[in-house]
Amino acid sequence: MPEQLNPALPPLIDIGANLGHESFAHDLDAVLERAIAAGLEHLIVTGTSPSASEHAIEIALKYPEILSATAGVHPHEAQHCHAEAFAHISALAKQEIVCAVGETGLDFNRDFSPRAVQQSVFENHMELACEINKPVFLHQRDAHERFLPILKSFRDALKCGGVVHCFTGEKNELFDYLDLDMYVGITGWICDERRGSHLLEFVKNIPANRLLIETDAPYLLPRSLRPKPKSRRNEPCYLTEVLNTLAQAVGRPPEQLAAETTTNAKALFQLAKAPCK
């Protein structure tokens, strides 16, 4: 593996990268080498269905020194999450390499799965996370009014907490999640002048001990990257662009933000193997 290009920058953790996506099938080793060269010390591979979660675990087990995985069913896939499929997720989530239950939640923007089914599957995931004492990796889009009550109903039993990943919402939604002592994940959405500029106005309200960063690769390539990459595929190595944009918005040096977010990721996902209390 290569040396870090900027050793002055504390190591980074990408809490959400879809490395099981087909676009990474041909060059994953090179992708990880570029990530390490950019300063990443750990990445969490997102699971979005039983098969995708199984694949995420396979990838993480191949590189256990730098990767962990999640296991869950994305709300888009909820309609396929029958009893047998969820039993599969439950078994996968109990593996040591799996650091969170999810991706799970609600997506009323596209409604790829019926809303009632999304809610039921989301609740099943929350119950599982409470049962096995692992944090949740959450997705919410255009569903805050239904998502929040469900999250609230489980919060006391959710001893390991969780992250509202790829936060793209409004200030009131942010404060609702912070009131529940949740972590908040910021992606390259904040680098998008067309639809993410509103985040620049209030991300400074996220406490230093509740902020996380992620790429959601291969999605959400930061539009502020210069020079622009030839490929539209996002990669974990571009996490530094999210870091720098976020640092400007919150008014703290990138080095400080890197240290804070890495400390937070290790605490939430038990990357140091410390048990939840």
CA–CA distance, 264 with 259 (Å, rounded to integer)? 9
Nearest 10 degrees: Cα torsion 75, 35, 191, 25: -40
Read off the pLDDT of residues 155-214 as tens digits, 9 standing for 90 and up. Answer: 999 999 999 999 999 999 999 999 999 999 999 999 999 999 999 999 999 999 999 999
Provide the H-helix boundaries in 114-205.
115-132, 144-155, 171-179
- What's the count of helices (H) and strands (E) in the chain, helices before strands? 8, 8
Query: Residue ranges of the chain with pLDDT lower than 50?
Result: 1-4, 274-275, 277
Query: What's the token pair of residue 162?
Result: 């969780």
How much is the pLDDT for 3? 46
How much is the pLDDT for 276? 54
By the 8 A CB rule, do 247 and 259 touch? no
By the 8 A CB rule, do 187 and 221 touch? no
Provide the H-helix boundaries in 135-188.
144-155, 171-179
How much is the pLDDT for 272? 73
CB burial of residue 116 (10 Å; 0-12, 13-18, 19+) = exposed
| Amino acid identity for residue 185 in this structure | G
CB burial of residue 269 (10 Å; 0-12, 13-18, 19+) = buried
Domain ranges for the chain:
12-268
CA–CA distance from 140 to each of 65, 75, 151, 170 (Å)? 30, 9, 11, 12
Beta bridge partners of 43: 14, 67
How much is the pLDDT for 1? 41
How much is the pLDDT for 13? 98
How much is the pLDDT for 221? 98
Please report which helix (H) or strand (E) contains residue 268, including its range: helix 254-268
12-268: CATH architecture: Alpha-Beta Barrel (3.20)
How much is the pLDDT for 6? 56
| Amino acid identity for residue 82 in this structure | H
How much is the pLDDT for 143? 98
How much is the pLDDT for 2? 44
How much is the pLDDT for 273? 56
